[in-house]
Amino acid sequence: MKLSNEQKYRLLEQAEPNELKRLYELVEKSHWRQSYHIQPPIGLLNDPNGFTYYQGEYHLFYQWFPLGTDHGMKYWYHTKSRDLAEWEDVGIGITPGGRYDSHGAYSGSGIVKDELLYLMYTGNTRDQDWVRHPFQNMAIMDTSGGITKREMPVIDAVPHGYTDHFRDPKVWEQEGRYWCVIGAQRTDHTGCTVLYSSEDLMEWSFEGEISTRLDPFGYMWECPDYFELDGQGVLLFSPQGIEPQGAYYSNIYQSGYVVGAPLQLDTRSFAHGDFQELDRGFDFYAQQTTVAPDGRRILVGWMGLPEIDYPTDEHGWAHCLTLPRELTLREGKLIQRPARELERLRQEHHHAQVELRDECVSFTGFEGSSYELLCQFDTMDGDRFGIEFRIGTDEKTVLTYDRKLRQVVLDRSRSGKPVAVEYGEQRSCSLEADQIRFHLFVDTSSVEIFVNDGEEVFTSRIFPETDSTGIRFFAEGGTASCEADWWKL
């Protein structure tokens, strides 16, 4: 059911009597609830926010609209973890509804200073004529976990030359100053990123636009993130308005990055290579990174997309976050591996090894709806080989390496309840390799597939029946040897 604007921009305390109870009951009955992913208790989750390591714990917030599965009044919902594997629900982090966030506490980031966690976010407001006025606000979490919003915005106006699509500050510290990138739209309706700097996180100066070679590239850039990795500069962002090109840019909106020599903070010039997509799957957007205490760069994304209906909408909830991934750079490309701490989730284990000859086989113990599967194919002369999973009477999700076309293909046309079919039911990418490793994390209604140790990732929601639990390995038009490990999660 779609909500009116009045219904969407209500705070929790404005819910009708029994409205929350009904939502909780609806969610309770949903057979697509995830078992080890971060998901909203009720309502809609979107972007990860404020991802920071603070006082021995990772804090990870997300955009949350409690009263339905539309995008409405956004709160920050708070989760935390000691190890990136087991997450604890903390509850509401930032409540909107003040003068400078009357229509939502939108996305932002976190940074630790003087033993406090500073959370900088966009306050979304609308005036009587429903015109948007964004503010950049600050909330501060202390060592007891209490979060206090600062009364006044830290950036109270949009600079000349940009529209009211101006949001998602991502803060970092460098050369003794604080810096933040903000996603923006120019008045000519093209997207870009702007840079601010500050001595103390409270007073910010507008430095100007980051000059890239991507000009123009879509009409809005959401959720920018800048960091350095192995002496290179990396700018991540989620551009809107990019047209599909072959197997690229197939989703409604994109998420990707450019890599180059480090950003020149004084001139804001950034010499970089081509835009590359972060994920090849159906459902990935608005990622954010943080640094682990041991220096690893960790990324989490929203496993969903704006403006798309999902089958759980009728169940009173929508979306989840991706698993945390470790980022490294190889020849200008980001390699993404599941955070090593996730091994702690492993339970019962099965191993199998077989030579497949034009056949499709299953192994004892390999089945379920919540598991990790690691499978290596080599010495192959078959045309195609791969894995079918979440198999039921009429359902299966199929992951194939097509050796002739040198392509990895994920097919969700028979995965269960259809999603966004107007954007196609297959995703693919080119991959030149003589050995293929597929590393899958399957949950009740999702799959994350890491190919060849993080060279490519496919992140997707799937909505199969509860009893669609089969797994089969196949080779067509020849042979392929296959060695597989399965863990219950």
Binding to ligand FRU (CB under 6 A): which residues in 15-54?
46-47
Q: 48 or 386: whose CB is closer to ligand FRU?
A: 48
Q: Which of residues 304-343 bind ligand FRU (CB under 6 A)?
A: 306
What is the full DSSP assignment across 203-215? SEEEEEEPB-S--
DSSP 230-253: TTEEEEEEEEE-PPPBTTBS-SSS
Pairing relationship of beta strands 317-318 and 43-54 according to DSSP bridges: parallel
Determine the number of helices (DSSP H) and then strands (DSSP E) in the chain. Answer: 2, 33
Selected binder of ligand FRU within 32, 51, 106, 401 (CB under 6 A): 106
Kindly write down the DSSP assignment for every residue of 317-362, as one continuous string. Answer: EE--BPPPEEEEEETTEEEEEE-GGGGGG--SEEEEEEEEES-EE-
Touching ligand FRU, residues 345-404 (CB under 6 A): none
Interaction mask 109-148, ligand FRU, x per CB under 6 A: -------------x--------------------------
Asked if 283 is part of the footprint of ligand FRU (rule: CB under 6 A), the reply reads no
Q: Could you give the 3-state DSSP secondary structure of residue 26?
A: helix
Choosing from 37, 103, 149, 167, the residue that interacts with ligand FRU (CB under 6 A) is: 167
Residues 308 and 318: their CA atoms lie apart, in Å, by 11
Q: Which of 306, 332 has the CB closer to ligand FRU?
A: 306
* Nearest approach, Cβ of residue 75 and ligand FRU (Å): 10
- Our answer to whether residue 47 is catalytic in this structure is yes
Which CB atom, from 121 or from 366, has the smaller least distance to ligand FRU? 121
User: Angle CA(321)–CA(71)–CA(298) in degrees, nearest 5?
Assistant: 25
Q: Whole-angstrom Cα distance, residue 414 to residue 208?
A: 48
Nearest to 67 by CA among 147, 160, 156, 5: 5
Residues 6+ apart with CB under 8 A from 231: 262
Contact between 74 and ligand FRU by CB under 6 A: the answer reads: yes
Indicate the residue among 46 and 469 with the shorter CB distance to ligand FRU: 46
Rank residues 122 and 322 by Cβ distance to ligand FRU and give the closer one: 122
Rounded Cα distance between 154 and 298, Å, is 27
Kindly tell me which residue out of 7, 52, 63, 250 binds ligand FRU, with binding defined by CB under 6 A. Answer: 63
Q: Choose, by CB under 6 A, the member of 79, 193, 222, 389 that binds ligand FRU.
A: 222
CA distance 73 to 412: 32
Min separation Cβ 49 and ligand FRU, Å: 8
* Shortest Cβ 317–ligand FRU spacing (Å): 16
Of the pair 270, 285, the CB lying nearest ligand FRU is at 285
Interacting residues with ligand FRU (CB under 6 A)? 46-47, 63, 74, 106-107, 122, 167-168, 222-223, 285-286, 306
What residues are annotated to the active site?
Answer: 47
